[in-house]
Structures are given as C-alpha cells and as structure tokens.
Amino acid sequence: RYGTVTGVQTCALPIFYDPIQYVNRGGPGFQYTYPLNFPSGTLLGMEVESRVTLDPLLGEEWKGLGLGANFTWMTSSVNLPTSPIDFNGEQIAYGAGNGTQQMVGMPEFLVNLNATYDVEPLGTQLGIFYSWKGESLVSASFVESGQLTPDIYQQPYGTLNVTVSQKIIGGLNCMFNAKNLLNPTITTVYKAPGAANMVNSSYSSGVTMSLALVYQVEF
C-alpha cells in the first residue's frame, strides 16, 4: 500500500565440524599465521531488511526515489581442542585459558544503507550505498612455551560507494562508479586479557573510480 517492503530472516544454529581457524604463532623476532582445524563450531544470525519507495507516501514529485536498509547480526563460537594438537609432528597444547573463541572472519554485525533515484524521463539512475562492518577476528591467540601471541581483531569501519548511469541513445549508456569514497583507515589490533589494545596494522585501500560506455543489445 505504501511502497514498503520489510523482511526478517533468521538462521538455525548450524554446527560446523573441523572448521578452519587462523592462529598466531611466534618465534624469535617473527610472527606468522597458521591454518588449523578445530573440533567444531556454531553460528547463529539474524537479518532485517526494509525497502521503501517514497512517492506513495509523499506524492508524485518523489517518484523514482527509494531508500533501503539492511542489518545483520551474527554470533559465532569455535570449540577449542581439549587435548594437545599436532603441528607437523609437534604436540602443543592450544588455547589461552578459554574453551571457545569467535569464528575467524565473522563480524559481529553488518549495516547497509542505500538511496536510489531513477529519473525515468531522462534515463538517469543514481545510487548511494553505505556499509558499516563490525569488529571481526583476523587470527586467534596461541600459547607456546609459556608465551602468549594475542588475538588480532580488525576494528569496525565504514565504506561509501556511488553509482551513476545515464542513457545516451538507444542501448548506449554511460556509467560512472566511485568506490570507497570515505577511504577509511582499516586498523587491526592485538587484544589480550588484562592488557590494553595495541595496533598491529593500519592502512587505507584508496578510492577507485571508473567511467565506461556500455551498449546493450536486446534480443
């Protein structure tokens, strides 16, 4: 009735067997990550999405303008080995005093917002897309020879993308894309129990822009 679409989706509690985690290992003057199969893990999530077109609400002058939002929440857990694990023939006890840890690469939440504008008489389409990614585990802690190599977490950050499409004549269109306009600083930190966070890495991936002519042939 009002041009609004809203949906809620939840997932059951899937159980993963032999999930792969990346763990930190360190030696004198160096550190590296190591892929390791853990016994099992679980993942639970919920997604809420809403889309609305504004002209049914505000009048014909708003025709072509649409807004959208998406929120995803996730919680994950990987069970740690209860007995020593085998690193290429080397038996080592894993863990930093915990029985579980977060699944690698699984953020706590994702937020997506978008606004689109379709000017049909002019053949113009505009889109603005913003995303926010929550904290996620990059590689997990490891205790070796009494020394702790702490967890590494990627900190939350947001990205902004813009797209523009203009119909020229017939099936010929001009398209412009701008990605990562905010160019955020993406930071990873060491996190250890009872200690302040320390920066592991900090970088920005740069802004990408492209301009293209596209010809579409309909059969």
How many whole angstroms separate alpha carbon 166 and alpha carbon 126?
Answer: 9
Which whole number is the average pLDDT over 86-101?
A: 60
Q: Report CA torsion sign: 119, 125, 128, 133.
A: positive
Which whole number is the average pLDDT over 184-209?
A: 90
pLDDT: which is higher, 22 or 176: 176
Q: What is the pLDDT of residue 83?
A: 64
Which whole number is the average pLDDT over 12-30?
A: 75
Q: Is the pTM of this model over 0.85?
A: no
Which whole number is the average pLDDT over 207-216?
A: 93
Confidence band for 98, pLDDT divided at 50, 70 and 90: low
Beta bridge partners of 49: 7, 70
Which pair of tokens denotes residue 105?
Answer: 């690469």
User: Which one, of 160, 105, 100, lies nearest residue 135 by Cα?
Assistant: 105
Q: Taking all residues of the chain, what is their mean pLDDT, rounded to a whole number?
A: 83
